[in-house]
Structure 1
Amino acid sequence: MSFSPKATIMSIPLILSNYRNKNISDRIYRIFVKPLRGE
């Protein structure tokens, strides 16, 4: 299976809206968004 980073980025808002737990949201942000943005 191929893995699309763009699809992951697109899915992040859905993940965050499904899991309204700040700890989970922060963890997802640190794992996915910051590395992709080069921070």
Structure 2
Amino acid sequence: MLMRMSLKLGTYNASIDALLSYITKLLQITKLVVNIANK
């Protein structure tokens, strides 16, 4: 029971990490595009 819970939590944390890195990449790309557009 406890093992299953921690496994679920681990998967949850991994997906949050993936989401955060995706958002960070998206923000970096957006900044790049904005910088290019402003030139």
- Say which structure is richer in helix: 2
TM-score (norm 1): 0.32
The higher-RCO structure (CA 8 Å, 6+ apart) is 1
State the structure with more CA Rg: 2
